[in-house]
Amino acid sequence: MCQWLMAKIYDRMMQDAEAKGLREWRQQLLQNVSGDILELGSGTGANLEFYSDAVKRIVLIEPSVHMRRKLEIKLSQSERTDIELLDNKAESISLPDASFDAVICTLVLCSVKHLEKTLSEVFRVLRPQGKLFFIEHVAAVDNIERYKWQRRLAFLWQCIAAGCHITRQTEDAITKAGFEIIKIDRQSMRGVPKIVRPSIRGIAIKN
């Protein structure tokens, strides 16, 4: 699916999932985020309403020009003056080492071209004891039949969902990147196709 069309229909496409729990997941995960934060793949800005006054600086990264246009409209209506929007790719962040207290990734790590490089960049820009907050759909490694279907449909799904990978073992990748996962929930995401339902959400720390 072309990026223009994905940007046009994304909010409508995710509306059911948001109503059936995803919005609540975002709120619960982000309620204690504070300090200087970086959000990767900000899309149309679904997380913005959940950042409290404890967040002092927000840098958003969104490489899709079409998504950025929708995001810019939302930012123009926001009362916050501490938000910066960049067009970087997650694999190559043009920001200094140890710049942030937290990095936010929600439904992003499935779509980056190079997961390991992205997580390496996240690790680099975080300060010591900085935290990665994540919500991601993942490979159904605990459900053999569903995992088989994920593998069968992986290429087709990438084509229709703007490069989204449904067989990524993101939890393992986060650990291999040097993070310690200090909180994780594994749950089925409702309101999306069955092959996309297995998900993880939680917090990892840079020790």
End-to-end CA gap in the chain: 39
Residue 158: give the domain boundaries.
3-206
CATH code: domain of residue 7: 3.40.50.150
Burial of 160 (0-12, 13-18, 19+ CB in 10 A): exposed
Percent of the chain topping pLDDT 70: 99
Identify which has the larger pLDDT, 101 or 77. Answer: 101
Residues 6+ apart with CB under 8 A from 129: 205, 206, 207
Would the pLDDT of 85 be above 80? yes
The whole-chain average pLDDT of the chain stands at 95
Does the structure show a pLDDT above 70 at 200? yes
Give the total number of structural domains in the chain.
1
H/E run at residue 153: helix 144-160
Per-residue exposure over 43-55, b if at least 16 CB sit within 10 Å of its own CB, e if not: bbbbbbebbeeeb
pLDDT score, position 4: 76
Q: How confident is the model at residue 81 (pLDDT cuts 50, 70, 90)?
A: confident
Q: What is the mean pLDDT of residues 26-55?
A: 96
Q: What is the mean pLDDT of residues 122-132?
A: 98
Tokens 């409209």 label which residue? 73
Confidence (pLDDT) at 57: 97
**Which pLDDT band holds residue 1 (cuts at 50, 70, 90)?**
low
